[in-house]
Structure 1
Amino acid sequence: METTHALWLLAVPVSALAVAAAARRLGLSAPLVLVIAGLLFSFVPGVPEFELDPEFVLYVFLPPLLFSAAWQSSFYNLRENVRSISLLSVGLVLFTTFAVGYTASALVPGLPLPAAFALGAIVAPPDAVAAVSVAQRLGLPRRTVTVLVGESLFNDATALTAFRVAVIAATGAGFTLTDGVLRFLFAAVAGAAVGLLIGPPLHWLRTRLDDPLVENGVALAAPFAAYLIAETVHASGVIAVVVAGLYLGHRFTESPAVTRLIGHSFWKVMVFVLETVVFLLIGLQLPPVIDGLSGYAPAELAGWAVAVFAVTVAARFVWVFPASAIPRRLSRRVREREEDVGWRGRVVVSWAGMRGVVSLAAAFAIPFVTSDGEPFPGRDLILFLTFTTVLATLLVQGLTFPALIRALGVGSARERYADTVAEAGAQHAAARAALERLEELTAEEELDAAVVDRLRQLAEHRQLRAWERLGGGTGPAGEEVPTATYRRLRREMLAAERRVFIRMRDERRIDDEVLDRVLHELDLEEVALRRS
């Protein structure tokens, strides 16, 4: 029996990776395909129920996913858009909590307002994983992507704090509005303090280890340490993880090159695996959610599900348009500092409200009984409405999101061109500094002329590369530019070298350890060529 259970546990990540691989190959959104696959698997006879353990999700899945997103985020971009991000991650979450709460309380007979507010807080925070992946693939403007990422980093903290306050009120454990506000402020401030207390010591330690594997191991421990410490002192673990991730990611440029290469690959793989498993698990939650609904009529359940989903989506539109337009109209400073995304950009941000695993984890964390020993009011119904809202936002909004972006013509072609021009200027300045330093070294000591010429050619190649990219890798008549020719020919040479090394290994003329070492050098050069 234990072996069978272990095999089913192994089947979840293996199936998730297989489905994600197929989706990526077909050019489909992996999160959406995984949810659909999980939903279909839940109907297969013999498949056991995989009920999400909220503690497992919040303590194991959430910290590394948040940390990785914060690590890769631009501190400067987030700071420049802090007003818009705060309006979404705090204001919109609370607005959605009240809108959904009042709607559910009015529609569902016998559902107390505090329990309805718990439902509102559960479905309030969007999970921007699916939205951001589509936005980046389709080339949304950087400011829009930054706002969506920033919202996803901080909105969980607001929602989970509001959820805990609502649950306390629903269980009758003693609650006032002042208590709720103080809890929220303490959780936010203390969580940020924990993140700031953890970030600098870990950065100091990483810069003195001089071991890429250990340095990245310390980075892996950071999100779990930040979350656990913050939750232990009743602060926001989410904010602690995000602040620590932003700090360490901002200072990551001070790490050695090998550490950065390993860290980038490691976090990319970890996030991919965690996200694939999480989205498959979302689809597999249908059987445990349905188990407790025998006392409700299907028509009633369907009507309530549609109503909660509609209010959840509408609340985002109702909030985003005035929250982004009114400050621009009232403040000249806002108009000068922030680029107006226009009504098309507001529609895109409003529609990018897919919910995810944090909502389901919070729903499963609802206690079974109140402080009086009575069953928590409407727990099974809240689970069902959470699942239907998550599923509907992922499928309805997720499937139509790419088409909406294309239909509105919201793109960043001009921004990408400006980035390439800026990069070309930076490459030019950096190469000029490198050449000047080479001349200084040549004047200080006698150097081999062939070595100096080769270094000078390399610097000039870097200087020209970004400028030539403005022409798409071709010249005025469509001919291949020199740097593109260089990259193509060098990749062919690397492939020939690689074949020789592998053949010599197969002939046992070199050891596998030697092969690994030389292939690593070739791979680094090929990656650099492909990135350029």
Structure 2
Amino acid sequence: MDQLALIIGLLLATVVAVGLGDRLRLPYPVLMLLLAVGLTFIPGFPDLDIAPELILPIFLPPLLFATAQRSSWAVFRVRWRTLIMLAVALVVITTAVVAGAAWLMIPGIGIPAAIALGAMVAPPDPVAVESVAGRVHMPRRLITVLQSEGLFNDAAAIVIFQAAVAAAVGGTRIGPDVVLKFVIGAAVAVVAGIAMGWLTAIITRLVASMVARSAVTLVVPFAAYILAEEVHASGVIAVVVTALEMQRHSRPQDAAERVTRTAFWDVVELLVTALAFGLVGLEIRHVIRDEGSDIWGMLGVAAVVCVLVFAVRFLWLAVLAMGGRKRRNALQPTSAKEVLILTWCGMRGLATLALALALPLTLADGTPFPARDYLLVIACAVLLATLVLPGLTLPWLMRVLNASNDGTEERDAALVLAQRAQAAAVAALKEHDLMKDLPPEKVALVKEKMGRLHAELLDGSLRNESVADLRVRGRGLAIAVQTIALDAARQEVVLARNEPDMDPEVADRVLRQLDLRTMIMPE
């Protein structure tokens, strides 16, 4: 009962953290973490006991799925350089640098355990970045860079971590087969994700209940993750691919389902994110309590590792920025200002905690795992340094650098897309030639409505006075005219969402207004 009461308490605290974050303009995950750390200082406060091997399977699938739903295949085809350089190369380089430093500074750690530490602290957390960047009006281009990195870097870190732990436990060396294992695991995960997306599309077409179809989307991320892990593939990649496939199979006519699913996932993402970071806070306090006074002797090494994590990321992004200017690559940093912002947004989170807690207690011969206490303290220190400090200071940094986005770029993109939707609606009406059967005054009303369509899509207003006017005469035909127009507009936006140069979130914003317009139409 204590466990259930603690979970309910954390969920209720989420509401407080979100409200407080809105007032203070601070990210609520950071506030949840600090709140959880503070609560554990209360005498008799219960611990939340979750087996380490269950942390990633419980929290990672829904959070990755929620983030990946805001992207598309076309965007990833454009961002493949960013994926390789940040989600794979930067993870490998950070792992190597941290492992080398740990091997030099921690007596008796051994190379495999040092590599395990590097893999633990290497991958930034996409959920933390999303929650922080959106509140400071960061330019969309930088957010897409962080999204691209965050969706896949856990896969590389997990493979390296598992290989390092296996080598440490078995007393063997880490060989080049790690690369082959990663490539094969990624390929199998892509196949599993595509299959799961295809299967989900079939299920949602067979199920009549809209609520049930939304509920399926909650089950699918866990199923994709477990399926991939069972065949020794990457569960992370499988979940991301599943989400991308489901978006690819989205149909223009599924307006009510999209609105319901979006609202459902907004709630799920909020609660799971807050619960995950509450767990991070509880576990950090648990580590501090277990280590006691010994922790003070470990803080020097932890501080060095924290500095290295920031420094490696800054230098690597600086190299990418120089290359990005030469290639005019819009999906990489192009200035020192952007390098600094992206460095500050390299926030560690759930994956770092889960991997740290997954460290075995003993080796195969029964001896303690090398420097396990050291590794836990360092992982928690990196987590706090990269999450709390940037999370609380990023708004100030954006103001100092004058880097906040006023939304002009997004509004311009939405305007262009809204105009495309309006043009598609008018073309569909001309093709069906329905307006010839309407009285002249109704034709004028329909034309006025189509002329205002792009403005309604941009400002989010859903004025329905035209429908009321059209009901006076020719009600059925007038509704048919609007139905055809809205269907054509949605079709255009759904197609545009899969274009390489289209921001999926801008398309989703316009599509949501069309979906809401469709839902308020009279029967």
TM range, smaller chain: 0.7 to 0.9
Q: Residues 19 and 105 from structure 1, CA distance in 2 versus in 1: closer, same or farther, beyond 3 angstroms? A: same
Maintained 8 Å contact 1:77/1:146: no
Maintained 8 Å contact 1:355/1:390: yes
Maintained 8 Å contact 1:88/1:155: yes
Query: How much has 1:371 moved relative to structure 2?
Result: 1.2
Q: Residues 297 and 176 from structure 1, CA distance in 2 versus in 1: closer, same or farther, beyond 3 angstroms? A: closer
Maintained 8 Å contact 1:70/1:249: no
Corresponding residue for residue 231 of structure 1:
229
Alpha-carbon distance in structure 2 between the residues aligned to 1:365 and 1:207: 40
Bigger Rg, structure 1 or 2: 1
**Which of the residues 280, 303, 308 maps onto 2:305?**
308
Alpha-carbon distance in structure 1 between the residues aligned to 2:144 and 2:204: 28
Corresponding residue for residue 498 of structure 1:
none
Corresponding residue for residue 99 of structure 1:
97
Maintained 8 Å contact 2:2/2:46: no
Maintained 8 Å contact 1:58/1:361: yes
Query: How much has 1:165 moved relative to structure 2?
Result: 0.8
Q: Residues 345 and 5 from structure 1, CA distance in 2 versus in 1: closer, same or farther, beyond 3 angstroms? A: closer
Alpha-carbon distance in structure 2 between the residues aligned to 1:221 and 1:281: 22
Alpha-carbon distance in structure 1 between the residues aligned to 2:56 and 2:311: 28
**Which of the residues 314, 319, 329 maps onto 2:316?**
319
Alpha-carbon distance in structure 2 between the residues aligned to 1:295 and 1:109: 19
Alpha-carbon distance in structure 1 between the residues aligned to 2:331 and 2:39: 46
Note the alpha carbon deviations across 1:72-117, whole angstroms, 9 max, x for none.
2133223212201221100001111111111111111222121111
Name the SS of the counterpart of 1:230 in structure 2. helix
Alpha-carbon distance in structure 2 between the residues aligned to 1:25 and 1:340: 31
Identity of aligned residues (%): 34
**Counterpart code for 1:387:** C
Is residue 2:420 matched to residue 1:426? yes
Is residue 2:388 matched to residue 1:388? no
**Counterpart code for 2:105:** L
Maintained 8 Å contact 1:431/1:460: no
Corresponding residue for residue 90 of structure 1:
88
Query: How much has 1:223 moved relative to structure 2?
Result: 0.8
The TM-score with structure 1 as length reference comes to 0.81
Q: Residues 212 and 6 from structure 1, CA distance in 2 versus in 1: closer, same or farther, beyond 3 angstroms? A: closer
Corresponding residue for residue 462 of structure 1:
453
Note the alpha carbon deviations across 1:216-243, whole angstroms, 9 max, x for none.
2222221111111110011110011111
Alpha-carbon distance in structure 1 between the residues aligned to 2:50 and 2:353: 8
Alpha-carbon distance in structure 2 between the residues aligned to 1:256 and 1:155: 32
Maintained 8 Å contact 2:146/2:342: yes
Name the SS of the counterpart of 2:133 in structure 1. helix
Query: How much has 1:69 moved relative to structure 2?
Result: 0.9
Query: How much has 1:273 moved relative to structure 2?
Result: 0.4
Query: How much has 1:31 moved relative to structure 2?
Result: 1.3
Alpha-carbon distance in structure 2 between the residues aligned to 1:302 and 1:409: 35
Maintained 8 Å contact 2:113/2:164: yes
Corresponding residue for residue 126 of structure 2:
128
**Counterpart code for 1:426:** R
> Aligned Cα RMSD in Å?
2.9
Query: How much has 1:327 moved relative to structure 2?
Result: 6.1
Maintained 8 Å contact 1:188/1:239: yes
- Name the count of aligned residue pairs: 472
Corresponding residue for residue 213 of structure 1:
211
Note the alpha carbon deviations across 1:269-298, whole angstroms, 9 max, x for none.
100000011112211123421344258361
Name the SS of the counterpart of 2:112 in structure 1. helix
280-289 or 206-215, which deviates more:
206-215
Corresponding residue for residue 482 of structure 2:
none
Note the alpha carbon deviations across 1:448-487, whole angstroms, 9 max, x for none.
7776555444323215546xx6xxx8xxxxxxxxx98x95
Maintained 8 Å contact 1:114/1:167: yes
Q: Residues 30 and 248 from structure 1, CA distance in 2 versus in 1: closer, same or farther, beyond 3 angstroms? A: same
Maintained 8 Å contact 2:13/2:32: no
**Counterpart code for 1:397:** P
Is residue 2:365 matched to residue 1:368? no
Give matches, 1:391-430, under 5 Å: 391-413=384-406, 414-430=408-424
The TM-score with structure 2 as length reference comes to 0.83
Q: Residues 292 and 424 from structure 1, CA distance in 2 versus in 1: closer, same or farther, beyond 3 angstroms? A: closer
**Counterpart code for 1:410:** A
Query: How much has 1:307 moved relative to structure 2?
Result: 0.9
173-182 or 342-351, which deviates more:
173-182
